Amino acid sequence: MWQEPKTDWSADDYINIADYNRIIGNIAYLHDLQQELYKPVPYTELAEKTVSDYPYAWEFNAIESFLDALSDNTFPFANYERGYWIDNGPTPTYDDLNRIESACLAFYKGYNRQKLTQQKLPITFGVNQSAIKC
Q: Which of 10, 51, 44 is nearest to 27 (CA)?
A: 44
How many separate helices (H) and strands (E) can be counted in the chain? Answer: 3, 0
Whether the pLDDT of residue 125 is over 80: the answer is no
Do 70 and 100 meet the contact criterion of CB atoms below 8 Å apart?
Answer: no
Do 2 and 104 meet the contact criterion of CB atoms below 8 Å apart?
Answer: no
Whether the pLDDT of residue 60 is over 70: the answer is yes
Q: Residue 38 gets which letter from DSSP?
A: S
> What's the pLDDT band for 131 if we cut at 50, 70, 90?
low
Q: Three-class SS of residue 40?
A: coil
**What pTM value is reported for the model?**
0.85
pLDDT, residue 127, reads 64
Do 66 and 31 meet the contact criterion of CB atoms below 8 Å apart?
Answer: yes
Q: What is the arithmetic mean of pLDDT over 38-66?
A: 93
